[in-house]
Amino acid sequence: MDRVIGSRIMLDDYDDLYAMEFMDCISDLLELEGVQRLSEYFQHCSTTRLQHSINVAYYNYRICKFLHFDYKSAARAGLLHDLFYYDWTTEKTPERHTFYHPKEALKNALEMTDINAIEADAIAKHMWPMCFGIPKYKESYVITLTDKYCAVMEVCQQLKFRIKSHFN
């Protein structure tokens, strides 16, 4: 892991206060095998699910810190919001992936670590409005935006690579 999509900040830069505080929020979770397994799956184009989760976690952290929300819970929820282990582009799920995977992520997260109410709500509702129920906390609304923002950035990054390699 070096940086977050769209950001110049290196996450291992000990002189950067944002990077250090962000890593402090999520470092225990990052060590979990279940979180590291996310690197085995692609989420959007060539972005792994782990990198996507770090991207979302970081923007959750920055926005919630700026707005004086609970940035630690927001960062942790961001890292765990897509904690599922299947290829969503090919595998069949009991219900539509959009509705199914937030529940699966919350179930896996609860099995793996302690989750507070804000984190649980943000994970379960991150697909809002394409999910059941309305977000309860302001941090949950933030993740609905950062998740979509990161998805768009990740797809655009891939398009940029393809266009560049096509014309070079």
**Chain contacts with Fe ion (rule: CB under 5 A):** 82, 147
Considering beta carbons, is residue 12 or 132 the nearer one to Fe ion? 132
The nearest distance, CB 74 to Fe ion, in angstroms, is 14
The nearest distance, CB 33 to Fe ion, in angstroms, is 20
Cβ neighbourhood burial of 99 (10 Å; 0-12, 13-18, 19+): middle
Considering beta carbons, is residue 148 or 160 the nearer one to Fe ion? 148
Considering beta carbons, is residue 55 or 69 the nearer one to Fe ion? 55
The nearest distance, CB 49 to Fe ion, in angstroms, is 8
- Of residues 55, 57, 90, 50, the one with CA closest to residue 73: 57
Considering beta carbons, is residue 82 or 139 the nearer one to Fe ion? 82
The nearest distance, CB 71 to Fe ion, in angstroms, is 18
How many helices (H) and strands (E) are present in the chain, helices listed first? 7, 2
- Of residues 53, 35, 32, 57, the one with CA closest to residue 44: 53
